[in-house]
Chain A
Amino acid sequence: MEKHDLSFEASLQKLEEIVQKLEQGEVLLEDALKYYEDGMNYAKICHDKLKEADTQITRVLQENGSMTDFQSIKGE
């Protein structure tokens, strides 16, 4: 699904928008099913984003300009 490059924030927002649309107002059945499918996709994106996030590495920009991994620096 090409929507995967959406941010977590955008996906969550989309999901909530869709929920609102579904909850209120007259939606055609076909549209409702489409919304539902989209909503499930966005929920999945959110889940995936949260899962894959664990790989994010915290870096340190040292004063000499070099970039190092934060984990390599031990707290005192």
Chain B
Amino acid sequence: MSDLYISVATLTQYIKRKFDVDPYMQKIWIKGEISNFRPSQRGHLYFTLKDDKARIFAAMFNGQARQLDFEPADGTKVLVSGSVSVYEESGRYQLYVQEMMIDGTGNLFLAFQKLKQDLEKEGLFSDAKKKPLPSFPKHIAVLTSPYGAAVHDMVSTMKRRYPLVQITVIATTVQGEGAIPSLIRNLRLVQNDPSFSDVDVVIVGRGGGSIEELWAFNEEEVAREIAACSIPVISAVGHETDFTIADFVSDLRAPTPTGAAEMATPDIVDLMHRLHQASERLDTAIRIKLRGYHSRLTYLIQSYVLKNPKMTYLKKEERLDSGLERLHMVMRSNMQKRQIKLQAVYSKLPVRSFQDQIEHRFLEVAMYKKQLEAGLQYQLKQKQNMYMFALKQLEAYSPIHIMQRGFSIPQNETGEVIRSIDAIEISENFTLRLSDGQMRCTVTDKKPLSIH
């Protein structure tokens, strides 16, 4: 039977679990009045939070209590955020306070906390959603009041840091009445108007004023518009430690307007430095390159080949020689191989008839040769006979033959035959040819032949 009964501790643990798994109990915002305020020695705060209908025990541990910017006391009306759970030892549920502030600021703080929580859950603050800023912005749109020192500081800072950038200040109401529609209208204008198509950074800034005056930046509509903006947004709304929702949803949060200007632009001094470095590296690189080529060239000029150019072709000649030799060898062995093959083919041929044919041709050749020789002999004999006959005739006509009969030939100094006495003068010399020799004569007298 005792199995039916559970211990108090078990029941209390069970009830505590009920509280702890309920998401609504994990983060709640409550307003009420402090009573029965009891700070402990170690800095924990215990009190009861009540209104006119109910009360709840509350504990705020020293870690959180140290953050308080006011002295809580009985009767203080406060806004509290925290979780509800069960304190098992005393068997009562109680509020564990995370944050607490005096309920003088109306509902703004609660609304802020709530919206922040909701948007964070939705993922609007996540780092993955943050768009990177361009390193070299072309056109920066500044959404703020064009009046006041803050915007002038911003513009002059950006101009000084990066003169290349174009800046357009888009006059925007940022506080009080009309801030919400003005902000939304101008955020859309920057994204959609063709004259702003080259805008690549948007800075949303405030003109100064207290956090209460900037409530437009804690409005959900504005927050969502900023989060949805296709161009990177820098928020310069908060001030140092004051955060607005706009700060969380924008891609970058600047602590001050000047800070935003610095985040948006590269510093020209850095750029000049980079440029200078690049130019210098360029110079060095080309110098090293040229020096490298130069030393390579020097090395090559002094190289063996260029110093002994003959060696280059002598070696080639050697190679040519050995190449030729190899070629011959290969040819020879090739020929041999082929001859062997040829013989092999021969041996397979019908040898007899082939040889017969060759013998027959040989006989034919011999016969023709004999005929030719006989013809030649005959021709030779004939020509000889003709020659002998001609020789005899020639002999008969030869001047020597005639001279043997007593005739002689006179010739002058130049060897011309003297055919007339007019061709020679008295006392001139001439040669007289006879059949067995010649003699020198002198003309002593000339007498023409008289014909009777």
- B residues sitting closer than 8 Å to A (CB atoms) are 135-136, 138, 146-149, 151-152, 155, 159, 163-173, 182, 268, 271-272, 274-275, 278-279, 281-282, 285-286, 289-290, 293
Known contacts A8-B164, A33-B286, A58-B155; can you find 6 more A-B pairs with CB under 8 A?
A: A8-B136, A19-B282, A50-B268, A50-B271, A50-B272, A56-B167
Residue of A nearest to B272 (CB): A50
Partner of B275, one of A12, A35, A70: A12
Report the separation of the CA atoms of residues A50 and B159 in the bound assembly, to the nearest whole angstrom.
11
List chain A residues, Cβ under 8 A from B169: 58-61, 70
A29 within 8 A of B: yes
Residue of A nearest to B170 (CB): A61
A-B contact pairs, 26 of them (CB 8 A): A7-B136, A9-B136, A12-B275, A15-B282, A16-B274, A19-B281, A22-B285, A22-B289, A29-B293, A33-B286, A36-B286, A39-B282, A43-B275, A43-B282, A46-B275, A47-B275, A50-B163, A53-B163, A56-B159, A58-B169, A59-B169, A70-B155, A73-B147, A75-B147, A75-B149, A76-B149
> Contact between A60 and B146 (Cβ–Cβ < 8 Å)?
yes
Report the separation of the CA atoms of residues A36 and B152 in the bound assembly, to the nearest whole angstrom.
42
Report the separation of the CA atoms of residues A17 and B155 in the bound assembly, to the nearest whole angstrom.
32
Partner of B271, one of A12, A32, A36: A12
> Contact between A43 and B163 (Cβ–Cβ < 8 Å)?
no
> Contact between A15 and B286 (Cβ–Cβ < 8 Å)?
no
Report the separation of the CA atoms of residues A16 and B427 in the bound assembly, to the nearest whole angstrom.
120
Min Cβ gap B295→A in Å is: 13
> Contact between A40 and B182 (Cβ–Cβ < 8 Å)?
no
Min Cβ gap B132→A in Å is: 14
Min Cβ gap A46→B in Å is: 5
List chain A residues, Cβ under 8 A from B148: 75-76
Report the separation of the CA atoms of residues A6 and B146 in the bound assembly, to the nearest whole angstrom.
32
List chain A residues, Cβ under 8 A from B274: 12, 16
Min Cβ gap A72→B in Å is: 10
Task: Name A10-25 residues within 8 Å CB distance of B.
Answer: 12, 15-16, 18-19, 22-23
Report the separation of the CA atoms of residues A63 and B144 in the bound assembly, to the nearest whole angstrom.
11
A35, A36, A60 — which one has the most chain B CB atoms within 10 A of its CB? A60
Partner of B164, one of A36, A56, A73, A75: A56
A5 within 8 A of B: no
A54 within 8 A of B: yes
* Top 5 A-B pairs, shortest CB-CB distance: A22-B285, A53-B163, A9-B136, A75-B152, A53-B164
> Contact between B278 and A15 (Cβ–Cβ < 8 Å)?
yes
> Contact between A15 and B285 (Cβ–Cβ < 8 Å)?
no
> Contact between A60 and B135 (Cβ–Cβ < 8 Å)?
no
List chain A residues, Cβ under 8 A from B172: 63
> Contact between A50 and B286 (Cβ–Cβ < 8 Å)?
no
Known: A7-B138, A9-B136, A61-B168. A54 touches B146 (CB 8 A): no
